[in-house]
Amino acid sequence: MANYNKKDAREWAREHLLGVANVTIPTMTSDFKRINEKAVRHDVELAIQHGFVGTLSCSEVAITQDQYVEFCQIMADQAAGRMVVVHHAVFNTLEDNIEAVKRAEAAGADVVLLGYPPYFYPKDYEEVFQYTKAICDATNLGVIIFPLPAWGFSRLHPADIPLSVLRRMVDEIPNVVAIKAEGGLPYIMSAIEVHREFHEEVVISSPLEYEYVPLAQVMDIPFCGTNYSAYYGPLLPQIHKLIRAGNYDEATQLWYKMDPARKAFASLPMAANGLLNRMMWKYQGWLQGYNGGPMPHPTQRVFQRDMAVLRKGLEAAGLNPTRDADEAFFVGRNPV
């Protein structure tokens, strides 16, 4: 259960959403029937060691809601207050998401990342607002609002969720605590606009490291997440600390150092038709010591040609990927 009241959610977020948050992807047992508890605990513990302040309990994979709730419970138990567990609110329907957010809160999640399911096709932003408010009303947890082209809202406005709608959410929904600013990608206008309008009221997250590192040197951005930064091991949390300390030159040099890995990541098909390739993300984390291992089908795949690109990108950046053979990824570091 959350250790803050709904009325105090924004104050809680200011204190705890300060750093970098990665993504934890469920691992199944080798028969694909159960959540692999050892693997989940391994991934949470390594993320803490790498300096991440939070992690998303990824639900955008082929698991049941019961399995997802078990996954959240394991994550929260392993984190034990040392890391913020972010509930991933992207189940099929509004009713499913209301049930899931209540169960995730009871399981120990600390905050919610609110997405919109593929079959939510609003005719206007009133529907978007009412959907958002219904989920926020169903939980005491703080909620991160997430403008993103993948939701399909760009047919209504280029910023995906325009400023006027975000303003209403911030004003009328007290447990809106943060905005994950990815609206209008690949352009940064929406991110700039969101920061300008809301940074004194809620936490602004710049989750894309290639935007975060330069932007955070000219404006106050306390949070970078949730994102794929497990691929870089502990580097992005280190860069975040340098920026907060005002060591911009050193942070910039590390950003340049990452460039071969950044370009390797960007060269691959990560988000075909709006669905992230979580298996490829899982491989990226495995290269830096995370568990890897089974994900249930259906899933997008990771092929040898893609694995070679990702591995070589880390090697060229001096980020020390594992020397384990790629075949070990499919088994995982803690097989059960």
Tell me, yes or no, whether 79 lies in a domain. yes
What is residue 204's predicted lDDT score, i.e. its pLDDT?
A: 98
Tell me, yes or no, whether 322 lies in a domain. no
What is residue 274's predicted lDDT score, i.e. its pLDDT?
A: 83
Tell me, yes or no, whether 242 lies in a domain. yes
Taking the C-alpha atoms of residue 130 and residue 202, their distance in angstroms, rounded to an integer, is 20
**DSSP string across 200-228:** TTSEEE---HHHHHHHTTTS---EE-SSS
pTM: 0.97
Query: Percentage of the chain surpassing pLDDT 70?
Result: 100
Pairing of strands 54-57, 203-205: unpaired
Which distant-in-sequence residues (6+ apart) come within 8 Å of 306 by Cβ?
A: 268, 280, 283
In one letter, which amino acid is 291?
A: N
Q: What CATH number is given to the structural domain containing 81?
A: 3.20.20.70
What is residue 273's predicted lDDT score, i.e. its pLDDT?
A: 83
Tell me, yes or no, whether 303 lies in a domain. no
Give the 3-state secondary structure of residue 239: helix
Q: What is the mean pLDDT of residues 110-139?
A: 98
Q: What is the domain extent for residue 223? A: 6-248
On the question of pLDDT at 162 being above 70, the answer is: yes
On the question of pLDDT at 278 being above 80, the answer is: yes
Taking the C-alpha atoms of residue 146 and residue 180, their distance in angstroms, rounded to an integer, is 5
Residue 112: phi and psi, rounded to 5, are -120, 135
Tell me, yes or no, whether 309 lies in a domain. no
Domain count, the chain: 1
On the question of pLDDT at 247 being above 70, the answer is: yes
Give the 3-state secondary structure of residue 260: helix
In one letter, which amino acid is 313?
A: G
Tell me, yes or no, whether 71 lies in a domain. yes
What is residue 1's predicted lDDT score, i.e. its pLDDT?
A: 65
Residues β-bridged to residue 223: 19, 205
Q: Tell me the per-residue pLDDT of 281-301, one tens digit each, with 9 for 90 and over.
A: 999 999 999 999 999 999 999
As a whole number, the mean pLDDT across the chain is 97
What is residue 221's predicted lDDT score, i.e. its pLDDT?
A: 98
> Picking from 157-166, 200-209, 272-281, 322-331, which range would have the lowest pLDDT averaged per residue?
272-281
Tell me, yes or no, whether 311 lies in a domain. no
Tokens of 43: 């991934």
What is residue 2's predicted lDDT score, i.e. its pLDDT?
A: 79
